[in-house]
Amino acid sequence: MTTQAPERHEFQAEVKQVLDIVVHSLYTDKEIFVRELVSNASDATEKLRHTQVAEKDADVFDPDLDLEIQVTSDEEAGEITIRDFGIGMTHDELIENLGTIAHSGSKAFLNALKASGERNDNLIGQFGVGFYSVFMVADSVKVYTRSWHKEGQCYCWSSDGSGAYEIEPVDGERRGTRIVISLKDAYKDFAKKARLEAIIKKYSAFVQFPVLVEGDKLNTVGAIWLKSKSDISDEEYKEFYKFQAKAFDEPRFWLHFSADAPLSINALIFAPTENMEGFGFGRMEPGVALYCRKVLIDSEPKNLLPDWLRFVRGVVDSADLPLNISRESMQDSSLIQKLNKVITKRFLKTLEEKAKKEPEVYNDFWQNFGLFLKEGVTTDFTHRDQLLGLLRYESSYTEKGTTTSLSDYLSRAPEGQKEIYYLFGPSREAIESGPYIEAFKARNIEVLYLYEPIDEFVMNHARAFEEKNFVSADSDEIDLDAIAPETDTDRGEALEASASEALCAFIKETLGDEVSEVSASDRLVGSPAMIVNADKMMTAQMRKMMKAMQQKTGGPDMGAEPPVKLQVNPRHPLVKNLAGLHESNGELASLISEQLLDNARIAAGLLEDPSQMVQRNYKILEQLSAK
């Protein structure tokens, strides 16, 4: 039996500083100590496994021990024990690892601390001082250890974290390390089994060795992102998705890849089936967790992916990340940006491949998550071109419910077409019953149909695709005759030029400041009139949205509606009749002119209060019924 007196050692000065910082200010969450000690236990076990592989003839002490991590506790006594059967430590290694600069990385940590001038920010991590976090919650700590070497001695390292530690020989220890933590009264809650299980499940669910709490195995899901794709079944992928994302649905598809440059990355990214924002659950939080060597760093890292990819779920694991000492925040923004760039580029490439090779899968994805890609167009200049290629819209060439890409749209465009035309409306029926589509259909020129408010923001932010500008089909600057002739030229006789000019002058005089211009147009086919947009950046829908936003936020009122440009169809019977009526019955002609404008406002989505129009309509009916 060992009776040798304990050796007493003072912590080196730098280690004392580290202890003070770790205990009093570095970690924001006290539960981190469990993660750090389990991570250290995993590292020690991995070192033994590596030694056994590298030194096949090595004579290992306690060779039949399972490679696992055991966590037990005594709630009443307020004690926690974390045990591994890993490589263990010798007497000198205890001093080097737990009491001096050499292996703990304390000096490097303090140099970084001094350079940054801060305690919590801009610290480069992986110093190996996570062990000291235990003193945040412990009155005392004992570390029992036995090296893997056949010939060796068991030791106990003990300290209360106040500035000194003791080492003494002991008997009866198995191979590896056993840490016994006597908790302070304020932190005895950590000794509860349920609390320990929750912490380990949160941070250490993918540690490669079994973790047992009071004999119950916890980490039942392996770190499959580190495996070869050929070794993983679809069912295993789905099981992992549900576990990691806490999801009730199944993944629509996934991206599993590894890369060595610019960083060492292992990533497994899932596209969900269901859009939770679409169910009204509020804005989704980032769902790709960041790991460093299978240990959780951040379950919801804010800058790992662009915000428009917040719907994806999964894991990114990189051993190269510089982290702060507590592993609670990422420091090197340039490296995070590289991670962001690599993962986003790979995910967009996956979407492109799905759209090309599995269009049905992509179309289903688009129906649920297309809004996020549109958001990306408006916010992410770096990936805008790729995102534009992934957009899908119905058009005047597609059937209802069928969409087209911008590339396919351009492949069908006439040779002389220099722009991509679109129309916004609440539905396909509303767009196709309005006046703006008529001239395009008469010339077989395709128009994209936009139904969601964000779509016009998309067009205004993107401006162009493959050097073809986006232009709203209600713009007054469109010259369709320069692109293609009308396919149906039998639309009846038009008013004489002089009669047309006189009618336009009368309508302008009648409507006054409500219109900036009235002119005859060949763009109209079956409708008598329409309002055209002179401001490419401020369509009718955009103006309505801005007005609603100002009302919601209490911003300044946009004031009265600005005058509009009204175009009339010189071939339409109503316009022809109005041309004769304005000379014989000016009062009725004026009422009809005002009605014509309001009808055009309705078609453009500009009429908010129809009450005056209704009263005017009664007056017109009254005069007509009197004849």
CATH of the domain at 579: 1.20.120.790
Domain span at residue 25? Answer: 7-217
Q: How many domains does the chain have?
A: 4
In degrees and rounded to multiples of 5, residue 317 shows phi and psi of -120, 125
Query: What's the confidence (pLDDT) of residue 57?
Result: 74
In percent, the amount of the chain with pLDDT more than 90 equals 58
Query: What's the confidence (pLDDT) of residue 137?
Result: 94
Mark whether 54 and 158 lie in a shared domain: yes
Mark whether 59 and 74 lie in a shared domain: yes
* Mean pLDDT rounded to a whole number for the chain: 86
Structure tokens at 247: 């999801």
In sequence order, the 6+-apart residues with CB closer than 8 A to the CB of 184 are 137, 138, 139
Mark whether 261 and 183 lie in a shared domain: no
Mark whether 20 and 156 lie in a shared domain: yes
> Which has the higher per-residue pLDDT, 109 or 393?
393
Is the pLDDT at 605 greater than 90, yes or no?
no
Q: What single-letter amino acid sits at 61?
A: F
Mark whether 135 and 85 lie in a shared domain: yes
Q: Which of 132-141, 187-196, 298-307, 562-571 has the lowest mean pLDDT?
A: 298-307
- Per DSSP, the three-state class of 39 is helix
Query: What's the confidence (pLDDT) of residue 11?
Result: 85
Mark whether 16 and 88 lie in a shared domain: yes
Is the pLDDT at 554 greater than 80, yes or no?
no
Mark whether 64 and 211 lie in a shared domain: yes
Domain stop point among 482, 512, 539: 482
Could you tell me if residue 149 is inside a domain?
A: yes
Is the pLDDT at 372 greater than 60, yes or no?
yes
Cα separation, 384 vs 466, whole angstroms: 12
Cα separation, 252 vs 127, whole angstroms: 40
Question: pLDDT confidence of 124, banded at 50, 70, 90?
Answer: very low
Could you tell me if residue 365 is inside a domain?
A: no
Average pLDDT over residues 275-304: 83
Could you tell me if residue 602 is inside a domain?
A: yes
Query: What's the confidence (pLDDT) of residue 148?
Result: 94
Average pLDDT over residues 306-313: 96
Q: Interior CA angle at 53 toward 50 and 58, to 5°?
A: 100
> Which has the higher per-residue pLDDT, 334 or 493?
493
Q: Using CB atoms within 10 A of its CB, is residue 251 exposed (0-12), middle (13-18) or buried (19+)?
A: buried
Q: Which of 245-249, 527-531, 588-592 has the lowest mean pLDDT?
A: 245-249
Average pLDDT over residues 350-365: 97
Q: Which of 58-62, 185-189, 388-392 has the lowest mean pLDDT?
A: 58-62
Cα separation, 94 vs 102, whole angstroms: 11
Q: Which of 79-83, 107-111, 360-364 has the lowest mean pLDDT?
A: 107-111
Question: pLDDT confidence of 32, banded at 50, 70, 90?
Answer: confident
